[in-house]
């Protein structure tokens, strides 16, 4: 058996032993199947390839000090995949089947769940695609659900450090009443050009404004956005952002810490009043923002001058991670044990 150097892991793909699959034919879901192949065999006219019938999820499993493996908020992911499925007219996988598949794939690949001390975790990637061969534009009859896992390293190799983000007004990611609220690959395809441009310019990611008026903050390409002002946690309310489970968790924790949580429209100019800012999602939990450049407006909003994250970001980050690794009790029912 190969040795994995846990501390060298990045957020990349590494093969594991098994994946778990389930197909839906004519509206009927079959049994879970275990596969050791990294490939899928699908028809060249499958709707996922031509008309974007594809949705995915992302969550993590963590090994605690006690050696037990914990999956974070699995049910929320199952429900969100159903919402994504409704959004692009795909068959909905029952929540129980989703949970069974996730537990099975983690258990089968338990040797890939990184040890507690490493700060690494096991990333879980569920995927749902339309597989019927069709050239006419309509929803597929048949679907394939698949879930694979891959160990990923601690997101912050150089420590929990803030990085710069960019507002790029010549790009939109999603339409005002479009697919922004669901987790589909199409949204990511639509964000790649702006994302690559931002990376070339030295930014971590793009912070999108609302597509209609370009007045309010929406979210980052792959993560929600929040700001801290005094004792308030402020995050955008919008019809075109993905309901991040990390953001939802941080809002709960912020409230429990005695903070005021505001979920509302946020004018771009309000960035000037924030003490801290962060992007949040499963991959990083929180990615603190050092500065936001509104490139076309030639404006800059600075949150960290000394290269250090804000106190509130750090506190929230440590708190959520402690729950995920089992260092602090799970008082919200967020954890599912893989025993
Ligand atoms: C997945 C995703 C997020 C983060 O959601 P989490 O549930 O916190 O991982 C944020 N924005 C977009 C567009 C996403 O696809």
In 3D, which of 40, 60, 23, 86 has the Cα closest to residue 246?
60
Structure confidence by residue, pLDDT tens digits, 208-251: 999 999 999 999 999 999 999 999 999 999 999 999 999 999 99
In 3D, which of 313, 314, 221, 250 has the Cα closest to residue 276?
313
Residue with CA at minimum distance from ligand 1 atom 11: 223
Q: Which residue out of 61, 75, 183 has the highest number of ligand 1 atoms within 8 Å of its CB and is therefore the one to mutate?
A: 183
pTM over 0.95: yes
Given a contact cutoff of 8 angstroms between Cβ atoms, the answer to whether 114 and 151 are in contact is yes
User: Helix, strand, or coil here: 75?
Assistant: helix
Q: How far is the CA of 69 from the centre of ligand 1 (A)?
A: 23
Give the position, in ligand 1's atom list, of the atom nearest the Cα of 283. Answer: 9
What mean pLDDT is predicted for residues 95-102? Answer: 98
Q: How far is the CA of 125 from the centre of ligand 1 (A)?
A: 13
Structure confidence by residue, pLDDT tens digits, 103-119: 999 999 999 999 998 98
User: Could you give all domains of the chain from N- to C-terminal order, each with its CATH number?
Assistant: 6-152 (3.30.470.10), 163-324 (3.20.10.10)
Q: How far is the CA of 220 from the centre of ligand 1 (A)?
A: 9
Residue with CA at minimum distance from ligand 1 atom 10: 223
Assigned token pair, 295: 């490139």
Whether ligand 1 lies within 6 angstroms of the CB of 246 is answered as yes
Q: How far is the CA of 224 from the centre of ligand 1 (A)?
A: 6
Q: Which residues are catalytic?
A: 183
- Residues facing 29 on adjacent strands: 24
Structure confidence by residue, pLDDT tens digits, 5-61: 988 898 899 999 999 999 999 999 999 999 999 999 999 999 999 999 999 999 999
- The CA–CA distances, whole Å, from 150 to 41, 110, 120, 244, 323 equal 21, 11, 11, 21, 21
Structure confidence by residue, pLDDT tens digits, 240-291: 999 999 999 999 999 999 999 999 999 999 999 999 999 999 999 999 999 9
In 3D, which of 80, 87, 104 has the Cα closest to residue 22?
104
Structure confidence by residue, pLDDT tens digits, 45-72: 999 999 999 999 999 999 999 999 999 9
CA angle at 263 for the pair 95 and 184, rounded to the nearest 5°: 40
Q: Alpha-carbon distance 220 to 167, whole Å?
A: 9
């Amino acid at each position: 058996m190969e040795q994995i150097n846990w501390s060298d892991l990045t957020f990349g793909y590494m093969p594991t032993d098994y994946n778990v699959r389930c197909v839906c034919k004519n509206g009927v879901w079959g049994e879970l199947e275990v596969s050791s192949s990294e490939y899928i065999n699908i028809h060249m006219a499958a709707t996922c390839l031509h008309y974007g019938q594809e949705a995915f999820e992302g969550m993590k499993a963590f090994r605690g000090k006690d050696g037990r493996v914990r999956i974070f908020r699995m049910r929320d992911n199952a429900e969100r995949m159903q919402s994504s499925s409704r959004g692009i007219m795909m068959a909905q996988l029952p929540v129980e089947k989703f949970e069974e598949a996730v537990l099975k794939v983690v258990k089968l690949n338990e040797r890939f769940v990184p040890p507690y001390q490493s700060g690494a975790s096991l990333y879980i990637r569920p995927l749902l695609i339309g597989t019927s061969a069709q050239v006419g534009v309509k929803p597929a009859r048949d679907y394939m659900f698949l879930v694979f896992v891959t160990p990923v390293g601690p997101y912050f190799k150089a420590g929990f450090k803030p990085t710069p983000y960019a507002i790029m007004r010549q790009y939109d990611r999603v339409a005002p009443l479009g697919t922004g609220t669901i987790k589909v690959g199409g949204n990511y395809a639509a964000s790649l050009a702006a994302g690559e441009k931002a990376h070339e310019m030295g930014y971590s990611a793009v912070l999108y404004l609302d597509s209609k008026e370009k007045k309010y903050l929406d979210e980052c390409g792959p993560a929600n956005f929040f700001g801290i002002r005094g004792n308030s946690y402020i995050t955008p309310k919008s019809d075109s952002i993905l309901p991040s489970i990390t953001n939802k968790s941080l809002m709960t924790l912020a409230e429990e810490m005695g903070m005021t949580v505001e979920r509302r429209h946020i004018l771009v100019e309000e960035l000037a009043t924030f003490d801290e800012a962060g992007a949040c999602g499963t991959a990083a939990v929180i990615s603190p923002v050092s500065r936001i450049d509104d490139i076309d407006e030639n404006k800059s909003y600075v949150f960290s001058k000394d290269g250090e994250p804000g106190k509130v970001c750090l506190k929230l980050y440590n708190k959520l991670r402690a729950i995920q690794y089992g260092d602090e009790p799970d008082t919200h029912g967020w954890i599912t044990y893989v025993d």
